[in-house]
Amino acid sequence: MACSKCQKTLSLSDIDTYPSPVPNLLASNITPRKHDLSVLRDALSSSRGDLQKLDDEIGLLQKYLLKLQAKRTSVQNFLDLHGAITIRRLPIEILERIFLFSLPSYPNVLESKSAPMALSGVCRFWRGISRAAPMLWTTIKVEENKNSKKVALVLSRWLELSCNWPLTIQYHLGATSQDVWKTIMSCSRRIEHLEIDSKVKIPDGFLSENAVFPNLRFLRITRDMRSAYDDPEVFIDLKKVAPQLSSIHIRRFEFNFLSLPSERLTTCSLEIEDMDCCIAFLGASRQLVDCTIRAYENWAATTLPILRHEKLEKLVINYGGARYNEALGLFLAHLELPSLLELEWFAMMTSNTIVGKWPGNVFLSFLSRSGCMLSKLWITAGPTEDDILQYLSALPSLIDIAIGPLPSIVCPDKLMQALTFRRHDNLEGENLVPNLEHLLISGEWRGGEAIATAIESRFGGKGKLKGITLFCHLKYSMSGKTLKRLRRCIEKGLAYRQWPPASFVGPQPPL
């Protein structure tokens, strides 16, 4: 081995370890003879000399290695100091694009330590570029505080820097002053995306006819629960205020106090307490593709004819009335949705909830009448095992299902056995929902070996299962053996989530 600097050679052949001169003594307790002792002393002396040679060479190499490491550090420092200089020749358009990717989802106007504000503090060159790039200032998060005049002043500066570009604004209304809102209204014609989260009383004249958002496409308004119940309702005529609106998401506003440009809507999330109003709204919203409805009162029967909606692809119902199985039957009996791909029905259980009989015939009639190819069906409460088996047999196109068979304290072994994937072609019968990719299970039963068997059969091999979601209380009821089997699948790549999400029930430990 030769040194690359001094070319000094370290011969390894002359320090090779010799074979033992007394192998018979190594494997026994025999007392050595005088001849053996003489041979052994010579071998030990030679080995000590070899060891000293190695220590000397190692010391020299370590010194040389330290010099190399010091030189490497010096070269790295040189690169760090001078490498950034080449970036100065980047075209301004490229640098602007880099700045754009550094932005958070919603830059806060009062946050100076994140982009785009932080970019202005690096150097004069960057400050000039960032201030001259309006796209960096078009997405704005405004959190109102007690010093609303200061917030309004900073917001005004952002709006100046955004020039005449379209705006996306997320406004957290936390004070009764209207300084910030007036500043927002000054650029209302440029706003395309507006989110309002109100924790206080809605200001007088809020979204009145005098407020015009001619280019607004997306609107989300969420009222604090206390504000929603204490404040008088405010009528909002969005037909006049935002005639181009296509996506609306309203929380804790009564539907009767809204006038919507229904004919333009493609996405919505609304609270509609009356079934007649709900069906009439769907009938007026012929461009609607994605619809979420929340209802907290009992839905009564309607005399309206069956509504055929050609474009609706996703329908989510959060129902808090007492008779939720009956309500689902009444609702679906008046709908025909040929394009429907996703259907979700959530029952908000209360002490007044009456389960009632699952509307199996109505549900199957709805599916047959619509002729839709559902890919997602989430029904977390209401049907029994037999009911679920009945409608799953009619929906082979499903890839995402949620099941919560009643009674919730009894493990649905029959259903899980039916969902167990048959891997061999010679087994009789076809697999239920053969293309299943995601399974949500809701319940509170103990044990659960049948669940683990069904999941194992569909994960890997011919099965297509990619993820499971468990009701947050279910994992605490399952046996240790079941959980161990599920963990093995998760370790092999099966995606796992809990339901409801942690944001609703608090952080949960992993499975």
Closest CA to 96 of 136, 125, 127, 124: 136
Please report the pLDDT score of residue 86 as a whole number. Answer: 74
Number of domains in the chain: 1
Six token digits for residue 465: 């299962």
pLDDT tens string 334-377: 999 999 999 999 887 666 777 788 999 999 999 999 999 999 99
Residues 6+ apart with CB under 8 A from 357: 325, 326
Q: How far apart are CA 25 and CA 253, in angstroms?
A: 95
- Helix count and strand count (H, E) for the chain: 17, 18
Is 147 among the domain residues? Answer: no
Is 500 among the domain residues? Answer: yes
Q: How far apart are CA 58 and CA 69, in angstroms?
A: 16
Please report the pLDDT score of residue 6 as a whole number. Answer: 61
Closest CA to 418 of 448, 392, 456, 444: 392
Please report the pLDDT score of residue 269 as a whole number. Answer: 95
| Number of Cβ atoms within 10 Å of the Cβ of 130 | 22
Please report the pLDDT score of residue 14 as a whole number. Answer: 56
pLDDT tens string 133-179: 999 999 999 988 778 888 999 999 999 999 999 999 999 887 666 78
- Host domain of residue 489: 376-511
Residue ranges for the chain with pLDDT beneath 50: 425-427, 503-509
Closest CA to 510 of 482, 465, 472: 472
Q: How far apart are CA 215 and CA 120, in angstroms?
A: 30
Is 78 among the domain residues? Answer: no
Is 80 among the domain residues? Answer: no
Q: Write the CATH number for 472.
A: 3.80.10
Is 280 among the domain residues? Answer: no
| Number of Cβ atoms within 10 Å of the Cβ of 498 | 20
CA angle 316, 322, 326 (to 5 degrees): 65
Is 29 among the domain residues? Answer: no
Is 148 among the domain residues? Answer: no
Is 434 among the domain residues? Answer: yes
Q: What is the pTM of this model?
A: 0.77
User: Which residue in this structure is represented by tokens 């998060």?
Assistant: 141
